[in-house]
């Protein structure tokens, strides 16, 4: 028998409580022990809620109740979530969390606290929403030397890019459509500028390579400068523009985590992940490549991962699993993205094809419908990013856009 | 410390041993205990093998050695694998297996034996090769009421169908290409006629719905009657022909497992799983849909799953996990596929479009390049399969092909 406390009764919190009671019989059977939700922490009142008797505004009710051994933190943000989670772990209560900001910024510390107190800090919901990725990486792919992970980690931006490709919609209109459908927030910065994807690639990088990667250390570009024309060129090239968060091991033994829009070729399964769906590709020496696909956000998809973690935490009572990474004192193990070698897409006005070849060598020219006579677009050969910057300055003309081509080789 | 025995030194067996020693440090760290391979069972001799000291031809060496607590069964076939596995489990040795035939035919009994002897029988490698599916279904999606699973479960047939679609290659030529590349066996029956996919959907059905589904109970059709013309019609329709193994819960509370070629619409992620890759889509009440994608077979992809299961079995020493399904006395819980309601693709010669509409109602006509004047092809509205058979007889003309359209609703 274990009692659960749910911290936060927003979208994911209410989804967690509803899903738990909807499938309770199955959940209890899987956990192998009786489970019930005893507390829901929220500063708001919910008069008339079917869960009315469970609400509290005081975290101490939960901290001081020894019956509560499992906690679901679904509040979001670092404060006060961090203090609450840490206090729970210090009392030996296992915590599961959907809070990517918390895990990305404080994961190493919370994992250490959990280990010290012989309980667990689990966060399947923080990275892939409904998509199982943390546990498969940690368990199912454990025999592999994983060399890279690359994912479409944000549903909002993928929805916007899909609209831009399929309906030739400009960015601003696609964003406003996403807002109308509830896929994007009023202030869409965290999604559109890649901060959300950045937190997720930090979590995946830390887990795969064993050292905490802080968001500040990761070069991050969003999709606000991508145009419908870029999307069209990518499609005619046989691929798609996607916002990709990725991490790879580099030849010098460092790792390179980065978030940026990228041309993804049609042969890569990520190119066909559309709308609000996410996809995460994992590369390893034995598996070659494996992809996980599904809804990366939303009330019940996220609740699915929270409840699965609660079941696991209940089953693992009294043992702390080895899913741990070290804290990092500095970022000396993070490679400089300017040293990476990759092809680039370039769209430029007032430059001849010959000039493009003179500067970049054997480029591949792309086409689009209704292309103005003075516009060209092309893919460069592989080139070191900092050399690319120099060559681009030599190209002249008016550069209308440049986008990296996804390249996970090092 | 745990000693491992590997039963069988064929492709997967040698891959398992090689992968184990390649990534041994990482594997031992993940397992949390020292591991080593003590025996390799094979009736053949391998003079000069770097593992020469480990070979034995006598299963009793393994059965009687109390140091051996983990066994990897990678022999294939039911005999003598079944006796070997059962004997190991009866001595409390956990067994991991890539043997889909064994799991599909004897899974319930072996799981029961494992539980009785407080050890584990794990088989991640049997269904998805490198693709994590058994553990995600059992653990990560545990909070869901799973309503259906549908997958491209056989790489050989998917390679053949991809060739037929992309290169307009006839079936026989695509098969012979697959054989030349080593993707298909000399006798390709098990792959081409769907028997391999059938075993896998039996395992998935048993796991998801909790009762053993025997291969004999599952309606199974292969791809040998699919033509390049069918593939072209499917592509022009916006989708693809795929060999799909699926299971869904029906309205009357039964389940319907089936293996057959199907028209898969372009919006379904399975339609873009190509070449030798497999994809498994899972539908649940909280997740909506999640797909797992990767290499479903091959030396190292399969070894990856075997070694991951060995790590898990080492970690779970002394506890038997709850991944168990009941044996089934009869097939009364299996729905009759003739009662299923779905659309059909029909290709027919010497029948007018008006006649097609008269017989089937509002059909959707399809096109292909160089279509003879007396050929039509169309998709019917949803219709009960046994009614479809009757109507097809009324249609007249020469039926050149019929293919079910994938429909996981009930």
Sequence-ordered alpha helix ranges (H) in B95-194? 100-116, 125-128, 134-135, 155-166, 171-180, 189-192
Q: What is the pLDDT of residue A68?
A: 98
Average pLDDT over residues A43-47: 95
Q: Which pair of structure tokens corresponds to residue B170? A: 């006839």
Q: Is the pLDDT confidence value at B321 over 90?
A: no
Residue B405 reports pLDDT greater than 90: yes
How many cross-chain Cβ pairs, A to B, lie less than 8 Å apart? Answer: 169
The helix or strand, by DSSP H or E, that contains position A379, with its residue range, turns out to be strand A375-379
Contacts with B296 from chain A: Cβ below 8 Å: none
Say if the Cβ atoms of B322 and A130 lie within 8 Å: no
Q: What is the pLDDT of residue B119?
A: 95
Pick the residue from chain B with its C-alpha nearest to A282: B294
Contact call for B140 and A291, based on CB within 8 A: no
B239 CB contacts (<8 Å, ≥6 apart)?
A: B263, B264, B265, B266, B268, B271
Q: Report the gap between the CA of B267 and the closest CA in chain A (Å).
A: 9
| pTM as predicted | 0.95
What are chain B's domains? 2-130+299-315 (3.40.50.720), 142-295 (3.30.360.10), 337-405 (3.30.70.260)
Kindly report, residue by residue over B73-119, the tens digit of the pLDDT.
Answer: 999 999 999 999 999 999 999 999 999 999 999 999 999 999 999 99
Q: Tell me: the pLDDT tens digits for A230-272?
A: 999 999 999 999 999 999 999 999 999 999 999 999 999 999 9
For residue B409, what pLDDT is reported? Answer: 74
* Percentage of residues in chain A having pLDDT higher than 70: 99
Q: What is the pLDDT of residue B185?
A: 87
* pLDDT (0 to 100) of residue B410: 62
Residues B182 and B75: their CA atoms lie apart, in Å, by 19
Q: Residue B314: which H helix or E strand, with range? A: helix B299-315
B365: closest CA of chain A, how far (Å): 24
Confidence (pLDDT) at B317: 81
Q: Hey, how many other C-beta atoms are within 10 angstroms of the C-beta on A185?
A: 13
Mean pLDDT of B345-351: 97
Residue burial A138-163, b: 16+ Cβ < 10 Å; e: rest: bbbbbbbebbbbbbbbbbbbbbbbbb
Contacts of A102 (CB under 8 A, 6+ apart): A73, A77, A78, A81, A82, A85, A110, A126
The mean per-residue pLDDT over the stretch B192-214 comes to 96
Q: Is the pLDDT of residue A410 over 70?
A: no
The pLDDT value recorded for residue B105 is 95
pLDDT tens digits along B53-62: 999 999 999 9
Return all residues near B307 (Cβ < 8 A) that are at least 6 apart: A142, A143, A286, B16, B19, B20, B23, B27
Model confidence pLDDT, tens digit, residues A19-42: 999 999 999 999 989 999 999 999
A139: nearest CB among B288, B294, B308: B308
Mark whether B200 is an active-site residue: yes
Position A322 confidence tier, pLDDT thresholds 50, 70, 90: low
Q: What's the pLDDT at A140? A: 87
Q: Which residues of A touch B294 (CB under 8 A)?
A: 287-291
Integer CA distances (angstroms), A55 to A14, A38, A87, A305, B185, in order? 12, 9, 19, 23, 62
Question: Is residue B322 pLDDT above 60, yes or no?
Answer: no
Tokens 């067996």 belong to residue:
B13
Render pLDDT for B146-158 as a digit per residue (tens, 0 to 9): 999 999 999 999 9
**What's the mean pLDDT when you consider all of chain B?**
95
Angle at B324 between CA B320 and CA B326, to 5 degrees: 140
Mean pLDDT, rounded, for A399-410? 91
pLDDT band with cut points at 50, 70 and 90 for residue B323 = low
pLDDT in tens, B279-303: 999 999 999 999 999 999 999 999 9
Q: Which two tokens stand for residue B215?
A: 């291969």
Average pLDDT, chain A: 95
The pLDDT of residue B243 is 98
Per-residue pLDDT tens digits for A97-147: 999 999 999 999 999 999 999 999 999 999 999 999 998 998 889 899 999
Q: CA nearest A24 in B: which residue?
A: B143
Q: Average pLDDT in the B316-323 region?
A: 73
Residue of B105, B200, B242, B248 marked catalytic: B200
Question: Which residues are paired to A256 by β-bridges?
Answer: A248
Residues on chain B touching A287 (C-beta within 8 angstroms): 130, 294-295, 300-301, 304
Which percentage of chain B shows pLDDT scores above 70? 99
Q: Which of A60-64, A95-99, B183-187 has the lowest mean pLDDT?
A: B183-187
């Amino acid at each position: 028998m274990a009692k659960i406390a749910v911290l936060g009764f927003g979208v994911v919190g209410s989804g967690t409580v509803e899903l738990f009671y909807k499938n309770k019989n199955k959940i209890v059977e899987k956990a192998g022990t009786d489970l019930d939700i005893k507390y829901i922490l929220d500063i708001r009142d919910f008069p008339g809620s079917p869960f009315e008797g469970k609400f509290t505004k005081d975290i101490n009710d939960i901290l001081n109740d020894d019956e509560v051994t499992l906690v679901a933190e679904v509040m979001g943000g670092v404060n006060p979530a961090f203090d609450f989670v840490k206090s729970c772990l210090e009392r030996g209560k296992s915590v599961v969390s959907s809070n990517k900001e918390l895990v990305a910024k404080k994961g190493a510390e919370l994992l250490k606290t959990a280990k010290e107190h012989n309980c667990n800090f689990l966060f399947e919901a923080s990275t892939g929403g409904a998509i199982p990725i943390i546990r498969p990486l940690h368990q199912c792919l454990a025999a592999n030397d994983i060399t890279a992970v690359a994912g479409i980690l944000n549903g909002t931006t993928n929805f916007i890019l899909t609209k831009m490709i399929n309906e030739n919609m400009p960015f601003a209109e696609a964003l406003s459509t996403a807002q109308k459908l509830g896929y994007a927030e009023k202030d869409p910065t965290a999604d559109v500028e890649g901060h959300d994807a950045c937190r997720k690639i930090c979590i995946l990088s830390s887990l795969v390579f064993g050292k905490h990667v802080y968001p500040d250390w990761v070069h991050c570009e969003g999709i606000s400068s991508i145009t419908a024309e870029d999307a069209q060129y990518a499609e005619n090239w046989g691929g798609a523009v996607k916002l990709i968060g990725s991490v790879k091991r580099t030849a010098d033994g460092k790792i390179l985590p980065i978030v940026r829009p990228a041309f993804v070729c049609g042969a890569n399964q990520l190119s066909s992940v559309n709308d609000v769906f996410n996809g995460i590709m994992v590369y390893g020496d034995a598996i070659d490549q494996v992809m996980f696909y599904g809804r990366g956000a939303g009330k019940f998809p996220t609740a699915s991962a929270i409840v699965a973690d609660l079941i696991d935490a209940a089953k693992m009572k009294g043992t702390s699993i080895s899913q741990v990474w070290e804290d990092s004192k500095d970022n000396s193990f993070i490679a400089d993205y300017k040293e990476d070698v990759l092809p680039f897409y370039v769209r430029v006005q007032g430059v001849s094809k010959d000039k493009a070849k003179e500067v970049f060598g054997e480029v591949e020219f792309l086409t689009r419908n209704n292309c103005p006579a003075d516009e060209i677009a092309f893919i460069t050969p592989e080139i070191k990013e900092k050399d690319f910057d120099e060559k681009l300055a030599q190209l002249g003309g008016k550069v209308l856009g440049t986008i990296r081509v996804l390249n996970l080789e090092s």
